[in-house]
Chains A and B, each alone.
Chain A
Amino acid sequence: MKKNERGEGRVKPGVKTAIKWIVLSVFAAAAYVSLTSGSGGAKALILFPLAAGIAVFEREIPSAIFGSAAGLLLDVALGKLPGFTALWLCLCCAAASALFGSLLRRNILNFIWVFAVIGGIYLYIDYYFYYKIWAYEGYELVLKYRLIPSALKTLGWSLPVFAGIYILERLCGIPRKLGLEEQDENIERI
């Protein structure tokens, strides 16, 4: 009865999960379209925080699958070798999911620093393999005028994206069971 009062239990968990993934897929498609449309200039890679945000709430396998798909879309949109970003996001999302599943609390601060580490390493790998290693004339300018502005915009977008995923998770996610240490009220939490 209580469940009904709170609006839970009316929709089957399977339907909720399906709705959640449909919404996330539509959002990913919209992020891809926004990336490839419009004029030039540095653009936010919204698919990046989306994949990382999903890794915060999902288990390792779904996180890795969504990370790969988002990475593949990013590879196509950025004109990179297919698999370059996909492999990176697949590994990082699985690792992040494992981290959030067992070590970290699921909050925005932890998300931001985990996302910043994943994004920062990716930024350097991208710069190194696509620009620095070839040492074409003026390659440093790409870092200044494209990669860093794009990374900063992406970081800015990561907050609303995380908020969106958090709300979606609250609405459509299956309530997670607390771990042993989380159930213990005597533990002092920061």
Chain B
Amino acid sequence: MIYAAVSSSNAISSAIGRAFSPIQKFSNRISDAVTETIDMLINARDYYDENIRLKEEMAELIAQMSDYTQVMQENDHLREMIDLAESSDGIELSEPCTVIGRTANDVYGSFFIDKGEKDGIEYYDPVVTANGFVGYVTEVEYTYSKVTTVLSNDISLGVYCVRTGETGVTEGSYELALDGNIRMVYIPLECEMRDGDIIITSGYSGLVPRGLVVGRAGDTFIAPNGLSRSGLITPSVDPLALKTVFVITDFDGKGSGYEEE
């Protein structure tokens, strides 16, 4: 009996609860909204002050974040500089140079850097990153310089394969540049160079130090004259993706190739 009474009262309260639940929700919302509005009206001054304080704090944090990013970038550049200097003995690097613009519609991806004559940059100074050779400085102004990339048909480099020691010369063309490649020519007919071999500068010309990575070898084929082989090279550096580079202002044997002639 008692159980029946209790259970039936539970059922009744449950039914009432269900019926009133949406109304309770609605009234709660109204109550919250009213409380919030009153709170806003009463504490408006406090919120205003807090808002100003938080804005100031945020500005300070943004400034700190900006400084932090700048320091991080500087740190990365210095690390890159140290890596470069360690990888090639006797080279003197410029400060990190930022790419400030690009030659429009240029297939070879030539670009401008923010260092020029006042920073000790000279014509035909080699330009590099930690990944390898980028190109040469081909125009020097007082505050900026223009860099012609390794993709250009104006640039030929003496190179050799690290694994096999086979030598050759690089050259660029419009067709290859559109695919981001260059060609290695005058490779001996009996070459053992394979796809993926690393190609580095020979330093013979005196324009560029020895041992800078140019790229990776692709397939080789017999040249049209039949006397040597040619092969594709995929440069280790994509000139279109560069943001910071270094200029080699001096190195052992600079100018020795052409000054002797």
Which 4 A-B residue pairings sit nearest by Cβ, starting from the closest?
Answer: A138-B175, A36-B101, A138-B174, A79-B103
List, in ascending order, chain B residues with CB within 8 A of A39's CB.
102, 240-241
Complex: A136 Cα to B188 Cα, angstroms = 25
Interface 9-mer from B19-27, B104-112, B206-214: B104-112
Q: Nearest B residue to A138 by beta-carbon distance?
A: B175
| Separation of A40 and B109 alpha carbons in the complex (Å) | 7
Say whether B153 faces chain A, with CB atoms less than 8 Å apart.
Answer: yes
Determine if A79 and B106 form an interchain contact, defined as CB atoms under 8 angstroms apart. Answer: yes
Inter-chain CA distance A40–B174, complex, in Å, is 14
- Report A-chain residues with C-beta under 8 Å of the C-beta of B105: 42-43, 78, 146-147, 150
**How many Å lie between the Cα of A43 and that of B101 in the bound state?**
14
Q: In chain A, what residue has the closest Cβ to B112?
A: A36
Q: Say yes or no: A79-B107 contact (C-beta < 8 A), given A137-B153, A139-B174.
A: no
Residue of B nearest to A38 (CB): B102
The reply to whether B174 and A77 form a contact with Cβ atoms under 8 Å apart is: no
* B107 and A142 form a contact (CB under 8 A): yes
Chain B positions within 8 Å of A, measured between CB atoms, are: 101-107, 109-110, 112, 146, 153, 173-176, 178, 240-241
B residues in contact with A145, CB < 8 Å? 107, 178
Complex interface: chain A residues within 8 A of B109 (CB): 40
- Residues in A with CB closer than 8 Å to B173 are 136-138
Known A36-B101, A141-B174; 18 more pairs at CB < 8 Å: A36-B102, A36-B103, A37-B102, A38-B102, A39-B241, A40-B102, A77-B104, A78-B103, A78-B106, A79-B103, A79-B104, A79-B110, A137-B173, A138-B175, A145-B178, A146-B105, A147-B105, A150-B105
Minimum distance in angstroms from B152 CB to a CB of chain A = 10
Task: Determine whether the beta carbon of B240 is less than 8 Å from that of A40.
Answer: yes
CA distance A186 to B104 in the complex (A): 51
Shortest CB-to-CB span from B32 to chain A, Å, is 51
A93 adjacent to chain B (CB < 8 Å): no
Do B175 and A40 touch across chains, with their CB atoms under 8 A apart?
A: no
User: Which residue of chain B has the shortest Cβ distance to A139 in the bound complex?
Assistant: B174
Q: Are A37 and B101 in contact (CB under 8 A)?
A: yes
Separation in Å of the A177 CB from the closest CB of chain B? 40
- A40–B106 contact, CB under 8 A? yes
Cβ-Cβ contact count across A and B, 8 Å cutoff: 56
Using an 8 Å CB-CB cutoff, how does the interface string of A104-143 with B read, 1 for contact, 0 for none?
A: 0000000000000000000000000001000011110110
| Interface contact A136-B174, CB-CB below 8 Å | yes
Residues of B within 8 A of A139 (CB): 174
Point out the residues of chain B lying under 8 angstroms from A137, CB to CB. Answer: 153, 173-175
Q: Smallest CB–CB gap between A56 and chain B, Å?
A: 25
Residue of B nearest to A80 (CB): B103
**CA of A79 to CA of B147, assembled, Å:** 11
| Distance in angstroms between the alpha carbons of A79 and B106 in the assembled complex | 8
Cα separation A139 to B108 with both chains bound (whole Å): 12
A126 to B, closest residue via Cβ? B105
In the complex, which of the residues B104, B153, B175, B241 contacts A43, with contact meaning CB atoms closer than 8 Å?
B104
Which residues of chain B are within 8 angstroms of A142 by Cβ–Cβ distance?
A: 107, 174
The answer for the CA separation of A139 and B106 in the assembled complex, in Å, is 12
Q: Are B107 and A146 in touch, CB under 8 angstroms? A: yes
Q: Beta-carbon contacts of A39-62 to B below 8 Å, as 1s and 0s?
A: 110110100000000000000000
- Name the residue on B nearest A37 (C-beta): B101
A residues less than 8 Å from B175 (CB atoms): 137-138, 141
Partner of A36, one of B104, B178, B240, B241: B104
The answer to whether residues A78 and B174 also contact, given A40-B109, A40-B240 and a CB cut-off of 8 A, is: no
Residues of B within 8 A of A138 (CB): 173-176, 178
Q: Which residues of B contact A150 (CB under 8 A)?
A: 105
> Which of A131, A146, A147 has the largest count of B CB atoms less than 10 A from its CB?
A146
Using known A-B contacts A39-B240, A141-B174, determine if residue A136 contacts B104 with beta carbons closer than 8 Å.
no
